[in-house]
Structure 1
Amino acid sequence: MSAAVTKAADPVLLALTQNRLDHISQQMGHVMVRTARSPIFSQAHDFTCFIAGPDGRVTAQADGIPIHSGGGGFAARAILRDFEGDIADGDVFLLNDPWAAGGNHLPDWVIARPVFVEGRLVSLVCNRAHQSDIGGGAAGTYNPEATEVWQEGVRLPVLKLIEAGKVRRDLWKLLLLNTRTPDLLEGDLGAMLGSTRIGAEQVARLVTELGVARALGCFDGILAHAAGRMGAALAEVPDGVYEGEERSDNDCFELRDIWVRVRVTIAGGRATVDFTGTDPQIRGFKNSTVANTHSAVYTAFASFFDPAIPRNEGTFSVIDIVAPEGSLVNAREGAATTMDTVFVAHEIIHAVWKALNQAAPDRAAAGWAKNIFGVTSGREPGAEGADGRPYVFYHGLAAAGAGAVEGRDGFNQIGHLCTLGGLTISNAETYERLYPVHFNRQELRCDGGGAGQWRGGTGAHYDVEIKTPALYSFRGEGLRYRTGFGVKGGGWGAAGEMHVQEGDGAPAPAPKFGLKRLGAGRLTADSPGGGGWGDPMSRPVDTVWRDWRDGLVSTEAARTRYGVILTGDPDDPEATLAVAVDQIATAALRKR
């Protein structure tokens, strides 16, 4: 530990500094939500603000989505590498490329603003945000027919978007020319710039108050403290080698099993996560980049252990990752990768969880269902039949259910596993005002969640009319196979289903992945359910009755899965617990 760190290692000061940095990142997020133009930001919060030190290590990532910030250090260090000796006060950087710039995937653009105090670089304040559209072969950033990165959108190395306080208008115009929704992109970039400006001002104020040397010592101390906390958590787990694996049933073009395999070795308060044995990279766009794989592994560890452990790059410095080049978890340059932050990140997290479930079974977590929602893009109705502005509509309200843990049912509907709830499900009424759509139904699913002492999340029934001809980009990973695994005797969540209907035609099953151009029509879905935790026969009878009254568990499932005999109609206000439950028959069934 350096003298500066030792001098700054007052635990109260470190805690206050960490909390203040976290608060700054959250304030940046508030600015972004209130000023961004795209609903993907203002409604869904598909962005993350984080703060790195002058060496590019992330010290605060309290805002947003862990898959964005876990690998944020790769982007920060790419800036320091590519512009060594050429970073000045008033510069702002932009990047997205996974190989040239430490990006996760092309839609996630990073705006990074260096912070100088007393002429010294003290921080990089960053906002990584998933853009509504960045060109490529399909509107909405996701091209499920892509087989190489050049079909997915514009690639950005580390660039100076603002140089010495002046916007590079040539680059700005280039960016707007490479999107189908330039009005949204221009407003969203402005919001990203504004959020980082607010963050930079507050970081500079903090460093000035502490003094540069003391502040940088605190940054190092924060990272060292986090490493110690995670190391202590790992030391409580028996040393050993634990294995896990997770599959996808498709490569985006055909049905075939694709496997992520991991060996987690825990020894002496450190962990080695080795993906040797994972399948080779595939043609489709579900290949992971190095930064994304690190983010997914960090998400798995952060969500498995004590939530009081700080979340910064120091936390994960005790975790070594082996990701063979050319595999699903370390695709070679040029591979299609746009889906990687969701799938194959989901498979990585599940595989690591399964290994950790063996290492620390008292903390075992059930599997989250793989989401099925895609993107619809078209043009708004214009005046007198003319085409209006382009729109890109994300079907986020078809989100799936999460897995249960001890003491809590799985969330009935939630964003992707890689977001851990950071991706917000928007209101149907808001979307109906913003897009040419009408929602017929959006309600929680019956019998979707895996049975257990703690039930898996149910998923949802989803029914929406699309009022214009549109291009559908399907991303139905969780369709037609079960993905939310149960633990400790808990059951699997239900598989997802989705159908599309053009005009007055008959509904047809939606493809898992692909593009389909349809006229005005309708999309319906049953999103998949999360896994259950523990023996379903241990679930309290009154809780099963409550789920039955709420329409989440059917009379038949109450009997066959939970051993609870219910009579009458759950919609009958007289169907109280005392009246509806046959206590004698239930007790007899549960004894078997």
Structure 2
Amino acid sequence: MQIKAINRMRTQITINDPVLLAIIQKQLDHITLQMGTVMVKTARSPIFSQSHDFSCFLSNSRGETIAQADGLPIHSGGGGFAVRALLRDFGKDISDGDVFILSDPYEAGGNHLPDWTIIRPVFAAGVLAGFCTNRAHQSDIGGGAAGTYNAAATEIFHEGIRLPVLKLYESGKRRDDLWKLLLLNSRCPDLLDGDLAAMVGSTRIGAERMSALFIELGADRADDYLDAVLAHGERSMRQAVRNLPDGVWKGADVSDNDCFELRDVETRVTLTIKGDELTFDFTGSSPQIKGFKNSSLANTYSSVYVAVSSFLDKSIPRNEGAYRCVKIIAPEGTVVNAKPPAPLTMCTVFPATDIMNACWRALEQTDPERACASWGKLVHGISAGLQPDGRMFVMYHWHGQAGGGAVKGRDGFPMTSTQMTLGGMSIPNVETYEQSYPCRILRQEFRLDGGGAGEYRGGTGVEYEAIIFTPSEHHIRAEGGRRPTGLGCVGGLSGAMADISVLELDSGKAVDVPPYGAQALPPARFKILGSGGGGWGYPNARKPELVLRDVRDGVVSVQAARDIYGVVISQDGKAVVSATPRASSA
């Protein structure tokens, strides 16, 4: 129906008509969603079929991202770096039926090594018209730790196989030698074999849909239409920026460790707004660190784009044209643009969050009404070991999640995937996990008084308890366990700190859990208190009936209702007895 509508409109209106461009953008976005459905239905790893830790996006023939509606914004925001690396290396050697693969953040425009990127060129009437891409976080890519997160890494060579831009299929024929090489470098080759096939298949479906759209538009004019789509995104973003005041503002976030010792690692940004342009200057951020919490350049760009897009009008198209008015200065050799061979695997999680928080804190000063409170940082990790049949398993403790930050008009998500996904990654069903892994999940419930108080409350985070019945290697990553990380805004309070504890199952002996590291464990019991998200606005501006609802739901205590929100609840917990006068957060 949409293509037919486009055909009718082509005879009546110009290429820059906003209605036509909106239809084309929606059609491109829908193609990425179709690709995502194919991936979920056919991938073998639970990380894809259940958690959706992948993203699909489309590019024009120059490698500019034109659609990224599916998946996680941290994956696709900097996706243009990868496609342009392909054009750099294979610009004169691209044929219909070719499929490319890459991962390396230094050489190939990747964000970190576990995210393998499959790119398929799209031809229409024999002419290269664009690219179709699936970027997905693999269960295991070798390296020093099962599950890809090697907390002992001090250089990228410790983190797994590095993939420059490689041709995985040539004119429709798979390169079996390269395929075998990839499987040989994974502890989970059976999963990887099916997952790669699913990624390739999703790009095939996407390429077919893109090619059909381009032919309907007129293959000779496809580039013109895509240029107009990008220009529309640019106009929309520039208009939104013009609504912000000119000026200079600063923001920052700080980590308290470099994965090996306690020290302040600062991400600092200076935001300059002039007319319809934004400049984010990260000069003053800490030098790159020893551990794997450095950011690649593509990841930094993506993190800034996620921060800007989530702060401004959600109707702005999410294509690369929209970010033409955004300038990023990321000094080489710092935590936001590390030089090789610095390790980078954690960059899409905590460094991305630090970058987003720094940008949000600067943007908050330009328009507090749009401010975003920080989401809590995680303390969960990965357990890896052998199934009873001898196959390797890699289990992410997704269920011990943190709470999301609040915004004006909405409380933070009670539990959600990490901040840089903006909730785009799914939390698997407990029952499915217990069927897939040698585990039992004993508890997964919202925390009491976990969310940061505010006119709009932060997400509570989760109280999680699970047993792993077989010996395993546990890889812990914990940013939220020593200080509050879900910081409030516009007078809102911070969420509760996280905590993790581990007991040996048979002896009941407590295991000392480091902030980062790998531990060989016998069967064990894990307990996680997920960080709470930050609140938005002053707590005493929250409506008393909402505080009462929170008390009855078991996420705010009677004492907190009285002492923090100024709302006294009856002894039976069914009514508000009294409330202090309401104050406005505006």
Shorter chain as denominator, the TM-score bin is: over 0.9
SS in 2 for 1:398: coil
Which residue number in structure 1 is paired with residue 490 of structure 2?
488
**Per-residue Cα deviation, 1:53-89 (whole angstroms, up to 9, x for no partner):** 0000000000000000000000000000000210011
Once residues 542 and 309 of structure 1 are traced to their aligned partners in structure 2, the CA distance between those partners, rounded to angstroms, is 35
Q: CA deviation at 1:509?
A: 4.9
Q: CA deviation at 1:117?
A: 1.5
Per the alignment, residue 385 of structure 1 pairs with none
**Contact residue 144 and residue 158 of structure 2 kept, 8 A:** yes
Q: Which residue of 1 aligns with 2:454?
A: 452
Instruction: Indicate which of 525, 529, 535 corresponds to 1:526.
Output: 529
Higher mean C-alpha displacement, 509-518 vs 98-107: 509-518
Partner of 2:574: 576
Answering whether residue 312 of structure 2 is matched by residue 317 of structure 1, we say: no
Task: Please say which of residues 117-126 and 88-97 is displaced more in the overlay.
Answer: 117-126
1:565 aligns with 2:568: yes
Q: Aligned with 1:443: secondary structure?
A: strand
Report 1:425-436 matches (<5 A): 425-436=427-438
Aligned equivalent of 2:75: 68
Aligned-partner residue type, residue 494 of structure 2? W
- TM-superposed CA distance for 1:99, in Å, is 1.0
Query: SS state of the match for residue 362, structure 2?
Result: helix
**2:540–2:580 CA contact under 8 A, matched in 1:** no
Does residue 192 in structure 1 map to residue 208 in structure 2?
no
Aligned residue for 2:422?
Answer: 420
Contact 2:287 2:333 in 1 (8 A): yes
Separation in 2 of the partners of 1:339 and 1:514? 13
Q: Decide which moves more: 201-210 or 534-543.
A: 534-543
* Count of matched residue positions in the alignment of Structure 1 and Structure 2: 571
| Residues 430/469 of structure 1: CA separation in 2 closer, same or farther (3 Å cut) | same
Partner of 1:237: 244
Identify which of 175, 178, 199 aligns with 2:182.
Answer: 175
Contact in 2 for aligned 1:50/1:63 (Cα 8 Å): yes
Ranges in structure 2 where 5+ consecutive residues have no aligned partner = 1-12
Q: What is residue 548 of structure 2 aligned with on the other side?
A: 545
Alignment gaps of 5+ in structure 1: 1-5, 383-387, 570-574
- Does 1:305 find its partner at 2:303? no
| Per-residue Cα deviation, 1:226-271 (whole angstroms, up to 9, x for no partner) | 0111111111111111100000011111111110000011101001
Give the Cα–Cα distance (whole angstroms) in 2 for the partners of residues 325 and 88 of structure 1: 36
Deviation at 1:505, TM superposition (A): 2.4
Q: Following the alignment from structure 1 to structure 2, what is the Cα–Cα distance between the partners of residues 190 and 587?
A: 61
Q: CA deviation at 1:589?
A: 11
Q: Quickly say closer, same or farther: Cα 1:588–1:167, change in 2 above 3 A.
A: closer
Whether contact under 8 Å (1:7, 1:214) holds in the other structure is no
| Aligned amino acid, residue 577 of structure 2 | D
State the shift of 1:343 in Å: 1.3
2:21 corresponds in structure 1 to: 14
- The separation in 2 between residues aligned to 1:509 and 1:536, in whole angstroms, is 37
TM-score, normalised to structure 1, is 0.95
Q: Distance in 1 between matches of 2:433 and 2:529?
A: 20
Partner of 1:371: 378
| Superposition map of 1:239-388 within 5 A | 239-382=246-389, 388=390
State the secondary structure of the residue aligned to 1:331.
coil
Whole-angstrom CA distance in 1 between matches of 2:445 and 2:571: 23
**8 Å contact from structure 1 (residues 446, 552) kept in 2:** yes
Q: Is 1:220 paired with 2:200? A: no
Quick one: which amino acid aligns to residue 500 of structure 2?
A: M
CA contact (8 A) 1:563 1:590 kept: no
Q: Contact 2:299/2:352 (CA < 8 Å) preserved in 1?
A: yes
Q: Percent identity?
A: 56
1:16-95 equivalences under 5 Å are 16-95=23-102
User: Which whole-Å CA distance do the structure 2 matches of 1:247 and 1:148 have between them?
Assistant: 22
**Residue in structure 2 matched with residue 162 of structure 1 by the alignment:** 169
Query: What's the Cα RMSD here?
Result: 1.4
- Using the TM superposition, give the Cα deviation of residue 164 of structure 1 relative to its aligned residue in structure 2, in angstroms: 1.1
Distance (whole Å) between structure 2 residues aligned to residue 475 and residue 150 of structure 1:
20
Q: Which residue of 2 aligns with 1:536?
A: 539
State the shift of 1:8 in Å.
2.2
SS at match of 1:62: strand
SS at match of 2:395: strand
8 Å CA contact 2:499, 2:528 repeated in 1 = yes
What is the deviation of 1:480?
A: 2.1
Could you tell me how far apart the structure 2 residues matched to 1:588 and 1:316 are?
Answer: 44
Q: How far apart, CA to CA, are the structure 2 residues paired with 1:131 and 1:93?
A: 16
Amino acid at match of 1:480: R
Match of 2:133 in 1: 126
